[in-house]
A and B are shown apart, each in its own frame.
Chain A
Amino acid sequence: MQRVIEIIKEKAGKLLADGTVDRVIGWKDGEFFYDPTPAVFSAGELENLRYDSFCGANVSKYLIAETKKEGKILALLKPCDTYSFNELVKEHRVDRDKVYVLGIECRGKADINKIRDLGIKGIESIEELPGDELLVHTIYGDKTCKLNDVLLEKCLCCKSKTHVASDDLALTGEPMPEAPKDRFAMVAKLEMMTPDERFEFWRGELSRCIRCNACRNVCPACSCLKCVFDNDASGVASKANADTFEENMFHIIRAFHVAGRCTDCGECSRVCPQHIPLHLLNRKFIKDINEFYGEYQAGADTTSRGPLTDYTPDDVEPSIVMKRGGDQ
């Protein structure tokens, strides 16, 4: 059976050759082998294109800048990336006409930390074996592990294996496994804690924040020309955490700004160097939106109104917060 990277290269090559697109956005080797980096390739550079279990990065945000340029670009989008892509199209941030979307197969992406957590030390490189198995070359010899045991958080709760935007697909035909985990389980667990326990939990998590802004920079919804936190005129500008409240404020506002627009792509948590589970903030908003205003998946289409730019006269009152689960 043909590997997906070969299908991608073949299709990309053809599209470049016939002039449909003049460049391709995908991934190339990064600093470390487990850290492939989004990159743009022109014809003739395709041999550097990489796609494997570590290509978790979502390239859709790069299309904002890319579609400002001349010509058409081929975007390699995993199913979850297509949601971000749609949301960006909806918000007029990406020019749909300048993108050729190749929806690519995804079997879930690996988290290097989870491989390390399995006790595998001195990792040098990893090879993918058929049957969703990973062959790990270490300085102590080769080890194997199951991809399913080392999935990224966002893949554990994969929202869909369907491409919601695509001009063509690159699939091997093998079924893509569905998500094994309920994505709101942790949110629900937190909700059932006492406020003091929740406060302690978040204090513990958020106080680790070093305000590196990685979450913001990677987030496809955080695509403002200038972030309010960088804008002196906004009155909330701050680059560093000067006190215990700053990171609360930053993360609440950031989550609020993307509420109703966040597709739950999970990039914020993936890139956080402090391993703060930032997706739990976004998922709280998503869970509330679903419960209060009906199921809504940002990026499922490019036309519907987001829940925060919409209303019904019979919406729940804010006092519902007083009546919900968890002790007070």
Chain B
Amino acid sequence: MSIEETKKEYKPLIVAFCCNWCSYAGADLAGTSRLSYPADVKIIRVPCSCRVNPLFILRAFQRGADGVIIAGCHPGDCHYTSGNYYARRRMTLLFSMLDYLGIERARTRVEWISAAEGVKFSTTMNEFAKTIHELGENKKLEDLRCKELLK
């Protein structure tokens, strides 16, 4: 494969919001256990899944992200007791709304990944990256202006 071809290969852009206490630590464990997942996944650390504002998700899509995943502690295990319960309601409603607007459902996802679930972190990210790869580029939500600015 020549370099040109490598460049053309579609590399999805995936933003993962991980809560500091469980999922970020789960991602660390995936690293420590050398459980690979595609480099397309970029992690943003937040204190809790309840810190994830729908604005962040829309912003990511606007700027060209192809998939957004939010990972938090398992329900009942939130470091802050109830943060992920609120996040769960917010994300359920937001995702349903995005679906309603015709955005592919599979571009958004919430997973509960504990600090001990390095394997789950890696399999989740592999699966999600695969799904997004199959869906292809996010055209419906992308802000064309932002793409223009880059050029």
Contact = CB atoms under 8 A, between A and B. Distances in A.
A307 B96 CA distance: 15
Query: Which applies to chain B's interface (DSSP): helix, strand, loop or mixed?
Result: helix
Interface residues of A, number: 52
21 contacts: A195-B102, A199-B102, A199-B140, A200-B102, A235-B55, A244-B144, A248-B101, A252-B54, A252-B101, A253-B54, A256-B54, A289-B93, A292-B89, A309-B86, A311-B88, A317-B88, A320-B96, A321-B96, A321-B105, A322-B106, A324-B96
Contacts of A292: 89, 92-93
Given A195-B99, A322-B105, A285 B93 contact: yes
Nearest to A322: B105
Most buried by B among A190, A196, A202, A243: A243
Nearest to B54: A256
Interface residues of B, number: 38
Contacts of B145: 242-243
B93 A196 contact: no
Interface of B: 54-55, 58-59, 62, 75-76, 82, 85-86, 88-106, 108-110, 140-145
Interface of A: 187, 190-191, 195-203, 228, 235-236, 242-246, 248-249, 252-253, 255-256, 259, 281, 284-285, 288-289, 292-293, 307-313, 315-322, 324, 326, 328
Contacts of A243: 143-145
B141 A318 contact: no
Contacts of A319: 109-110
